Homo-oligomer: A and B are copies of this chain.
Amino acid sequence: MTAPLHEARPAGPGGALPDTQQGMRRRNLARVLHAVRAEGPLSRAAVASRIGLTRAAVSTLVDELIRSGLLEELGPERPGRVGRPGSALAVSGRGPAGLGAEVGVDHLAVCAVDLRGTTRARAIRQGANRGRSPRPVLAELTELIRQVVTEAEAEGLYPAGLAVAVPGLVARDARTVVRAPNLGWHDTDLGPLLPSGTPLTVDNEANFGALAELWLGDGTPRDFLHVSAEIGIGAAVVVDGGLLRGTRGFAGELGHVPVRPDGPECACGGRGCLEQYAGEEAVLRAAGLEPDEDRVGLLAGRAAEGDEDVRRALRDAGTALGVALTGAVNLLDPETVVLGGELSGLAPWLLPSLRDELTRRTAGSACPVSVSRLGPEGPLLGAAHSVVRAVLDDPAAFARRA
């Protein structure tokens, strides 16, 4: 069960997994759990009609889920309609929990989320990690994780997995950081440096942010583009409720989409990449500011104060983003574009020019652009919830308390 949590799609008919009765049972357990979680307290009969199985079948499935501690009987429903009232079922608040962790450039954070989706424990530590080597940073993170775990265990939860968000590119093995420029890490397997015992997943924070938006955003569709800017500018592509990762796991590198093919040279080898117009450094330079620790906060502050240089820099960045997103929208035809992560704080000054550029260039089929409600919380929540989803998707694999 260390397999990459929450990959986009199950194997097709050509897949190699045999289709046996145990598999059917497992999938049906997942369906019951999903239904109860998604639509609040539900009776067995209600679940049965939702997922298309008979009441009898659902009964045995529910029994098994209750015995495993994943489902809970809340007692008889208040009867409003005719007929015997059902017994309300809810996802347990005391079963497995998803551990999410975030390695930020200037902070570490950990949280535990239960199956219901509520955050039950959390810990944050401020402090610049830029340039520190992985070992001490992850030792601190491990300490925070232990705190959160004991806190969660006091409430009857047990960790079902750990998902770590990092500001960098992660290999498809979901453990190795290929490069994280803002930390100075490269080709580091985080596995040995983090607590073992629970399955581990490491991923780009932009990806987790997008998943958070998918699972927790209000009304976010199953097909969208999630743009964030932590390391350079990353876009996560969500297709049919799953993340598009790419062959090497590098999908979503919006930062190096060419905006002006003859523009200034970029470290990537190209010219006029988006990053040179809308990247943090570029915007700071255009605004006439010196790089600082809390770069985004600085920009937002100055812009709010009315600093015309900063505002113009952000407007221009928005325009460049609009050009790059035009390409992406043409290619992917997403339902919406969502600005998330740190970017959401700058949205008020980026959005107008961005929308302008995008809608002008995609006259016929304008794609709405919105701002994530989750903001900088996204990656951490997405990480924790990715574990929760893994449990919901295959409860049999995570059950305890037989």
Contacts and interface: CB of A to CB of B under 8 A. Distances in A.
B334 A247 contact: yes
A237 B9 contact: no
A324 B323 contact: no
A10 B242 CA distance: 12
A19 B34 CA distance: 14
Contact of A253 (B30, B249, B333): B333
Nearest to A21: B24
A335 B249 CA distance: 11
Given A34-B13, A53-B18, A326 B249 contact: no
A279 to B, nearest CB: 14
A19 B14 contact: no
Interface string A27-55: 11011001000100000000000011100
Interface string A315-339: 0000000011011101111110000
Q: Can you tell how many copies of this chain the complex includes?
A: 2
B27 A256 contact: no
A244 B258 CA distance: 23
Contacts of A333: 245-253
Interface string A229-256: 0000001010111101111111111111
Interface in A56-104: none
Interface stretch (A159-167, A357-365, A369-377): A357-365
A393 interface: yes
Given A18-B52, A323-B261, A8 B270 contact: no
B223 A326 contact: no
A103 to B, nearest CB: 23
A121 to B, nearest CB: 27
A363 B250 CA distance: 14
A127 interface: no
Interface in A1-23: 8-10, 12-21, 23
A259 B256 contact: no
B8 A10 contact: no
A392 interface: yes
Contacts of A393: 12-13
A154 interface: no
Contacts of A53: 18, 20
Interface in A167-224: 221, 223
A222 B8 CA distance: 14
Nearest to A7: B240
B8 A31 contact: no
A260 interface: yes
A361 B271 contact: yes
A18 to B, nearest CB: 3
Given A13-B394, A244-B332, 11 more contacts: A18-B31, A18-B51, A19-B28, A23-B24, A251-B331, A253-B331, A257-B326, A258-B361, A268-B361, A269-B361, A331-B332
For the complex of A and B, 6 pairs with smallest distance between CB atoms: A246-B333, A269-B363, A18-B52, A270-B361, A257-B327, A9-B9
